[in-house]
Amino acid sequence: MSAEILRNKNGYLCAVCDGVKNLSSVETLSRYRLGTSGNIRIIKGALKKRDLIEEISHQVEIQDPLFK
């Protein structure tokens, strides 16, 4: 896995932990180094596949206790 993909996933998890609601805003993409807004869907899918996050009622929750 490339370093950029790992950095994007870490940024996504940090944004979720910080309670960010609009992950695809320009400010959020820049602050958390998420790349493009299209990356959000890819990152979310990869993290769901690995059971690190779960989406409940359009809210993303971190499932892995190591990231809480």
Per residue in 1-58, pLDDT (tens digit) is 566 666 788 899 999 989 998 999 999 999 999 988 888 999 999 899 988 899 888 8
Number of domains in the chain: 1
Domain that holds residue 58: 3-67
pLDDT of residue 15: 93
pLDDT of residue 31: 94
Residues 6+ apart with CB under 8 A from 7: 33
Element of type H or E holding 4: helix 3-17
pTM: 0.80
Contact assessment for residue 62 and residue 47, using Cβ atoms and an 8 Å cutoff: no
